[in-house]
Structure 1
């Protein structure tokens, strides 16, 4: 019985020594992982900052930038979504959604995530949308989603007022158009 206990004590001592060594390795690995993650984060921020410094972002809306960043984050999950949607360099479509500016928050979020912005003069939301996001817009907004029609060449009218009256616009609107041109 004494040999059995001493054998077990010896075995337990070996196990304790191995556990201590493995715990030290795990602590070193955890510290190394934390260090690498921190360095990676700093390098990504530096890279992104350098790239953004060279771009002219003054013309891009904040919601479009946020939507693009969220899109990158969505696609970076496991890579399968990016492949299913045609990758990051997929086809884009100039899109217009005819709906008022005062839309429900849920719908406004969809519009902004797709990178659309309010275009008051046309009375709707416009922008460039990836072909992969177009079905989502159609699902939410139905036939309010339009692709802007090609501009057809027209014969110029002799005056703005003449063209306005010929199209049935009220006289007041015709005067506004004439004032805008002068």
Structure 2
């Protein structure tokens, strides 16, 4: 199927490591294909599990996260190098040095929404998490309404990211751009 070795990465194992996304070889390979040679800034990287596998695939990625979540994941260490930095600080500091913003299971704070204004309209935001959808009466637990009000999804690009929720949850992958 792939050359990515994820032997223990079942949903229960990921949850036990406080990893909220569902990392699969298909996700990693589809991200690799979508990203190509572009440079990535990942915010809310947590312990760096996704970053680790993308780096193994040759992706140039700068991972940042605040180590202050309610579950104390930072005490476990990181899978790879993750710089301690807020989303807003990272987007400002690395402006012009990345081509894609990767956001996976962000916390519901205002940082991501505030960061959007610093992004060029041609920077894709790969978002994996719960996405609010008022038409479906679904209030997502990732990001804020202010973030979603500032971006628009490009469905033709979202469908290129293969994200399997593992049979549970309401999270999904989407590619957004600043309006």
Q: Could you say which structure has the higher strand fraction?
A: 2
Q: Could you say which structure has the higher helix fraction?
A: 1
TM > 0.5 between the two?
no
TM-score normalised over the length of structure 2: 0.22
TM-score normalised over the length of structure 1: 0.22
Q: Which has the higher contact order (CA 8 A, sep 6+)?
A: 2
